[in-house]
Structure 1
Amino acid sequence: MTDMLSAARIAAYNTEKPLFTAGPASLVYENVAALRPCFGRGDQAFLDSYARVLDMVSKLAGQDKTVAMQGSGTSAIEVMIANFLYGKVLVVDSGYYAQRLHMIVESRRKRDGFIRKIDIVNWQEIDHVGGSYDWVLAVYTETSEATLVPISGLANLVRRVGGKLALDATASIGLETGHDAADVTAFSSCKGLFGLTGAGFISYSCEAENAVEDMIADLSTYADKKTTGPYHAILSLEPVLENHADHREAVVINKRVFCDRFSDHLLYSAEQQPLLCTALDVGIRATDSQAVLYAPRQTRAASITCHIGEVHLGARAEGKIVDLLEVAT
């Protein structure tokens, strides 16, 4: 058992299965070593860790407070929309995941009536939007297209329409800057936070005004810890978040090496690209049969490659994982 939990053994696991997917990232030794027996009530050691993790997450998100729940980033987005969004909502369409936001908003509008009207605009047209809206809802990093919706453009849009900004930060949190431009954000534990799967987070700096009736969608269910929380996912995050900048550097290095190697095939300019992933106009294949490539649910790109497969190496990463990739012919 000791060998199974050793840093060398975890490193070997990562070598045996190279990941070019959107998350979870490569397994960090601290993710596993931090796990302990724990409980959400009466366990002071866990409660102290829980408070520290939520404080670190809030700071990364640029928000005042954070709640955690069992589930995915999509689970957190559902709860965010149910509790915060009302009135007239503008959805910024950047691809598959933004269109999923539109579907969720439309479902909540029909269900409880807090949202009265929904409009949608292409992300490349946001500078031309006028009128007034209570909320703007957008995806910061659109993984389905490997594009970065400019946070400054979203902030300008919100000021112009006089509303608030709700952000799907699932693929941007911990990687991109400027999340403080939002009033509320939703994301998961396993992408740019580099934790284990299983935790959804909502970080916010405004009050949730909707009186949600169903318990599973009510923000207070999670703020007041009325259900079993993502205890082990929280424990896995603390040592990783304490050293987050070092782990993030591995993503920076891998992104740079990948873009240099495939510079002739980049689909978008540098300012349109997120740190998490890169779109190419050609297909990619791996020379290692155990490697896992990213298969987007829907995309116009010939291939999308994600860059969190050497997070376990931190700033020591050299982007050698990119050597396993070649243009598919």
Structure 2
Amino acid sequence: MTASPYSFPATSETGDPLLLTPGPLTTSRTVKAAMVHDWGSRDANFIEINRSVLTRLAGIANGAGDWVTVPMQGSGTFAVEAMLTTFVPADGEVLLLINGAYGKRAKRILEIAGRRTVVHETAEDTPPDLAEVEALLASQPSITHLFTVHCETTSGILNPIAQIGALAARYGKRYLVDSMSAFGALPIDVRAMHIDAVAASSNKCIEGVPGLGFVICRRDALARCAGNATTLVLDLHDQCTNLEKTSQYRFTPPTHVIVAFHQALDEFDAEGGVAGRGGRYRRNCRILLDGMRALGFRPLLAADLQAPIIVTFHMPDDPHFVFSRFYESLKARGFVIYPGKLTVADSFRIGCIGRIGETEMRAALAAIAEVLEEMGVAGLVEKTA
């Protein structure tokens, strides 16, 4: 085997392991540095930073003016639960399009909240069948809302949110989208896609740190949600009303996270917004797929279904390949990957997002090749003999 041009362990610019995951992910030194100062939540400077963050997020989704960004302290799932339990009233019924763990999580949220659901479920490597979705909408007028996941990170599949939105509009349904791992890297247009609310978080493609979820809501739709929420903390209507009246969060905001997110948005804009950020991730994904295929790995998804966020690979059919050893050996070389989350196949996942580019992706591939040779995996030995 040719010696690798990369030295291991590989690290980020701050010396941390590189996180090849769907978030939390590797962040820039300047995003981290933004958190070294303390901020009062009622301080005028912090209030202006927070206002800027919320305004810019709505703009990324082409929602300026008619949509409002409502922040929610906590992880992305806090934002998804806030969206579902605020927008779906007690007598509502949600058509859930499920092809992975995050669609199933939405179903569990609605069940706990006592909301009725109808499920259209496909395998984790299969997008929703739009003809079947339309048939459900046509045959069950009791459905009030339609929910889907933009990029289902269980597999990395890209779901057709624009076509689903067209169906929601045709049948007069409210449309709710979980764009957690795609927002900022893949285009989303709340106007053109007829989206009433979309949930995402700070620690994904904008490359901030964990701690703040947010929901970009159609103003007139949110205005009709007063009294729907099943919890005090996750009430988007109440949170929005209080913010607009007082500029204050109802409960302590994650000030350091928000200031870091503001810095991350500056860096996102400097890279060219969705086009620039998504372009880098697509290059990362292409390098990863080409390199892993050359090493004998087989991706789960067809190219037209693969989002440039995280890639799922089948486990090699080789008795020498032990995932726990593979994982720990890569971690020792400075790369953290993800175990699989599929029911359809034994697999593992490698992310393409975060403050990483071509150099880091090629270094990761070199580390993978080194580990496979060390393990004596036949596919690599045959290719490099």
TM range (shorter): 0.7 to 0.9
Shift of 1:191: 1.1
Cα shift at 1:281? 2.3
| Cα pair distance change 1:305/1:82, threshold 3 Å | same
Deviation at 1:197, TM superposition (A): 0.8
Give 1:75 deviation, angstroms.
Answer: 0.6
Q: Which runs of 5+ in 1 are unaligned?
A: 1-8
Task: Report the Cα offset of residue 134 of structure 1.
Answer: 1.6
CA distance in 2, matches of 1:277, 1:51: 31
TM-score, structure 2 as length reference: 0.74
Quick check: 2:97–2:128 contact (8 Å CA) kept in 1? Answer: no
2:293 paired with 1:269: no
1:127 is the counterpart of 2:131: yes
- After TM superposition, the structure 1 = structure 2 runs for residues 24-103 of structure 1, keeping only pairs within 5 Å, are 24-35=24-35, 36-41=37-42, 43-63=43-63, 64-86=67-89, 87-103=92-108
Q: Which segment drifts farther, 52-61 or 227-236?
A: 52-61
Contiguous gaps of at least 5 residues in structure 2:
1-10, 122-126, 243-248, 317-322, 378-385
- The DSSP-based 3-state class of the residue aligned with 2:330 is coil
Alignment partner, residue 215 of structure 1: 232
Q: Deviations over 1:13-63 (max 9, x none)?
A: 23xx1222111121211212223221221x111111111111121122333
Count of aligned positions = 310
Q: CA 1:244–1:72 in 2, change beyond 3 Å: closer, same or farther?
A: same
Q: 1-side partners of 2:189 and 2:357: how far apart?
A: 23
Give the corresponding residue for 2:177.
Answer: 167
**Greater mean deviation of Cα atoms: 262-271 or 316-325:** 316-325
Cα distance in 2 for partners of 1:254, 1:134 equals 39
Alignment partner of 2:337 out of 284, 293, 314: 293
Other-structure match for 1:3: none
1:239 equivalent in alignment to 2:263: yes
Distance 1:187 1:124 in 2: 21
1:238-277 superposed Cα distances (whole Å, 9 cap, x missing partner)? 1221221637244233211101112461221222111111
Q: Give the equivalent residue in structure 1 for 2:156.
A: 146
Q: Does 1:324 align with 2:337?
A: no
SS in 1 for 2:250: coil
Distance 2:172 2:120 in 1: 16
User: Deviation digits for residues 118-162 of structure 1, max 9, x if unmatched?
Assistant: 111134323322224321011111111221111223123213432
Question: Contact 1:93–1:120 at 8 Å: present in 2 too?
Answer: yes
Query: Quick check: 2:311–2:350 contact (8 Å CA) kept in 1?
Result: yes
Of the structure 1 ranges 263-272 and 142-151, higher mean CA displacement relative to structure 2 is found in 263-272
Greater CA drift, 254-263 or 190-199: 254-263
The separation in 2 between residues aligned to 1:325 and 1:137, in whole angstroms, is 38
Question: What percent of counterpart residues are identical?
Answer: 24
- The structure that has the greater radius of gyration is 2
Partner residue of 1:228 out of 252, 257, 273: 252
Paired AA for residue 288 in structure 2: F
Which deviates the most, 256-265 or 191-200? 256-265
- Is the 1:18–1:321 contact (alpha carbons within 8 Å) kept by the matching residues of 2? no
Q: Equivalents in 1 of 2:300, 2:165: separation in Å?
A: 26
**Which residue number corresponds to residue 253 of structure 1?**
283
TM-score for both structures, normalised by structure 1: 0.85
Secondary structure of 1:13's partner? coil
